[in-house]
Amino acid sequence: MQHAVRSRAAIRTGLTPVPRPRTPSVASLMDADALRVLHRAARALLDDLPDLTDRLVALLREQEPAYRTALTMDPTATWQEAHRSLRHSVTSLLDPSGARDAARRCSWRIGAARAAQGLPLDALLHAFRLGGSLVWQRLVEETSRVAPEDVRLLVHVAADVWNFVDEHCTLVADAYRQTEWQIGRRRENRARLLAAGLLDGTSRIADLPEAAQALELPEHGRYLVVAVAGQNPARSDAARAAVPPGVRVHWHAGADVDYGIVLADASDDGFPRPPVPGRGPGAQVPGVRIGIGSAVDGLASVGDARKFADTALEICPQAGGTVRLADHLPAALVASNPELGGALAERVLGPLLRLEPADREVLLETLTTWLDCDGSAQRAGERLYCHRNTVLNRLRRCEQLTGRSLARPADVVEMSLALTARRVLRD
Other C-beta atoms lying within 10 Å of the C-beta of residue 245: 12
Single residue among 327, 361, 387 that ends a domain in this structure: 327
Single residue among 298, 327, 356 that ends a domain in this structure: 327
- Do residues 240 and 376 both lie within one domain? no
Please report, as a single letter, which amino acid is at residue 372. D
- Say how many residues make up the chain: 427
The answer to whether residue 3 is domain-embedded is: no
- Do residues 269 and 379 both lie within one domain? no
- Do residues 231 and 175 both lie within one domain? no
Burial class of residue 134 (count of CB atoms within 10 Å of its CB; 0-12, 13-18, 19+): buried
- Do residues 96 and 171 both lie within one domain? yes
- Give the C-alpha separation, 314 to 227, whole Å: 10
CATH of the domain at 413: 1.10.10.2840
- Do residues 261 and 360 both lie within one domain? no
Contact yes or no for 287/237 (Cβ under 8 A)? no
The answer to whether residue 388 is domain-embedded is: yes
Tell me the β-bridge partners of 272.
none
The answer to whether residue 92 is domain-embedded is: yes
The answer to whether residue 9 is domain-embedded is: no
CATH of the domain at 76: 1.10.490
Contact yes or no for 89/135 (Cβ under 8 A)? yes
pLDDT at 31: 78
pLDDT at 280: 46
The answer to whether residue 70 is domain-embedded is: yes
pLDDT along the chain (427 residues), means of 10: 42 41 42 89 94 95 90 92 95 91 96 94 95 94 92 88 92 96 95 96 94 95 92 73 85 90 74 45 71 93 95 87 87 84 89 91 93 93 93 93 92 90 79
Q: Containing domain of residue 175, as a range?
A: 26-183
Tell me the β-bridge partners of 259.
227, 252
- Do residues 163 and 247 both lie within one domain? no
- Give the C-alpha separation, 77 to 70, whole Å: 9
Tell me the β-bridge partners of 112.
none
The answer to whether residue 213 is domain-embedded is: no
pLDDT at 274: 45
pLDDT at 271: 63
pLDDT at 396: 94
The answer to whether residue 188 is domain-embedded is: no
- Do residues 281 and 389 both lie within one domain? no
Give the C-alpha distances (Å, rounded to integers) separating 126 from 80, 91, 139, 260, 361: 18, 21, 20, 41, 78
- Do residues 416 and 307 both lie within one domain? no
Give the C-alpha distances (Å, rounded to integers) separating 140 from 134, 144, 148: 10, 6, 9
Which string of b and e fits 310-335 if b means at least 16 CB within 10 Å? bbbbbbbeeebebbbbbebeebbbbb
Single residue among 327, 349, 375 that ends a domain in this structure: 327
The answer to whether residue 2 is domain-embedded is: no
Kindly give the pairing relationship between strand 222-229 and strand 257-263: antiparallel
CATH of the domain at 302: 3.30.70
- Do residues 90 and 126 both lie within one domain? yes
Count H helices, E strands: the chain? 17, 6
- In three-state secondary structure terms, 263 is strand
- Do residues 261 and 407 both lie within one domain? no
Q: Where are the alpha helices (DSSP H) in 118-248?
A: 121-146, 155-200, 208-215, 235-241
How many domains is the chain built from? 3
State residue 337 phi and psi, 5-degree precision.
-145, 80
Which of 33, 136, 146, 159 shows the shortest CA–CA distance to 90? 136
- Do residues 241 and 173 both lie within one domain? no
The string of DSSP codes covering 61-97 is HHH-HHHHHHHHH-HHHHHHHHHHHHHHHHHHHH-HH
pTM over 0.75: no
- Do residues 282 and 341 both lie within one domain? no
